Amino acid sequence: GAVVSQHPSRVICKSGTSVKIECRSLDFQATTMFWYRQFPKQSLMLMATSNEGSKATYEQGVEKDKFLINHASLTLSTLTVTSAHPEDSSFYICSALRGRGAYEQYFGPGTRLTVT
Amino acid sequence: DAKTTQPPSMDCAEGRAANLPCNHSTISGNEYVYWYRQIHSQGPQYIIHGLKNNETNEMASLIITEDRKSSTLILPHATLRDTAVYYCIVRDNQAGTALIFGKGTTLSVSS
């Protein structure tokens, strides 16, 4: 099956700093990747859709200047949480669509962000 | 995407079949039914999907009613490792659209 990795798996940072999370499709090309956020005991919430070589599309209520998404290659998308605050502490999960015109969506293992 | 309704929680004894229901009464003709599960602190795992016919794979079976307004995911012999949150999602397989997750069903398998 298709594999999606995330790095780091967990990170702790101080309030006011920025954190970058990487999402890689290891054995396939992904023109489209998605970023989700999940708070404790809640479901996954879609944050943004990232297409290779173009600007990300953010869901309503998600600040694009706070959550910077870059999808510079067909196998890598990054999410940067800028000026992180404790309320940004969450489980961030990326997902990738395999190939063009694809609907098979594969998920990464998630990144646990804790802002102190 | 059409919304789904699932019971918030279910219990199952180890070795027994787990039958997880899902209502999707507003599903449209070109929308598929997907099932994913999420074990604590991990990313979601694909289980199975279908359009109108029943489907079976090595993990589970998916039974879709003839009117497509509901479905049931069947884990034939539940194990402790099947304890997870199970999500039923309906989605048009239009390229580029993300899966939208509801609240899911927390399945607890006990010995």
For residue B1, what pLDDT is reported?
Answer: 55
Q: What whole-number percentage of chain A has pLDDT above 70?
A: 96
pLDDT tens for B61-99 read: 999 999 999 999 999 999 999 999 999 999 988 767 899
* Averaged pLDDT for residues A48-76: 93
Q: Touching check for B25 and chain A: CB below 8 Å?
A: no
Confidence band of A101 (pLDDT split at 50, 70, 90):
low
B95 and A34 within 8 Å at the Cβ level: the answer is: no
The answer to whether B111 and B80 have CB atoms below 8 angstroms apart is yes
Q: Is A111 exposed, middle or buried (0-12, 13-18, 19+ CB in 10 A)?
A: buried
Q: Which residues of A touch B100 (CB under 8 A)?
A: 46
pLDDT above 60 for A72: yes
For residue B98, give the nearest of A34, A108, A112 by CB distance. A34
**Torsion angle (degrees, nearest 10) of CA A89, B39, B87, B35:** 130
Q: For residue A104, is pLDDT > 90?
A: no
* Chain A residues close to B87, C-beta within 8 Å: 43
- Nearest CA to CA, how far is A55 from chain B (Å)? 14
Q: What residues form DSSP beta bridges with A42?
A: none
What is the tens place of the pLDDT at every residue in A2-47?
A: 799 999 999 999 999 999 999 999 999 988 999 999 999 999 999 9
Instruction: Decide if B66 contacts B51 (C-beta within 8 A).
Output: no
CB contact under 8 A, B101 and A91: no
pLDDT given for residue A52 in this prediction = 86
Interface of B with A in 40-59 (CB under 8 A): 41-46
Looking at residue A31, what is its pLDDT? 85
- Kindly list the residues from chain B whose CB atom is less than 8 angstroms away from the CB atom of residue A97: 95-96
Tokens of B32: 């598929």
Q: Cβ distance A26 to A98 under 8 Å? A: no
Pairing mode of beta strands B9-13, B105-110: parallel
Between B97 and A66, the more confident residue is A66
Q: Is the pLDDT of residue A103 over 90?
A: no
User: CA torsion angle for B24, B27, B31, B36 (degrees, to 10)?
Assistant: -10
Query: Residue B16, Cβ neighbours under 10 Å: how many?
Result: 12
C-alpha dihedral (B11, A40, A97, B19), degrees to nearest 10:
10
Q: CA A4, CA A62: separation in Å to the nearest integer?
A: 23
DSSP state letters, B10-47: EEEETTS-EEEEEE-TT--TTEEEEEEEE-TTS--EEE
Q: Cα separation of B23 and B4, whole Å?
A: 5
Residue among B108, B23, B107 at smallest CA distance from B64 = B23
Percent of chain B with pLDDT over 70: 97
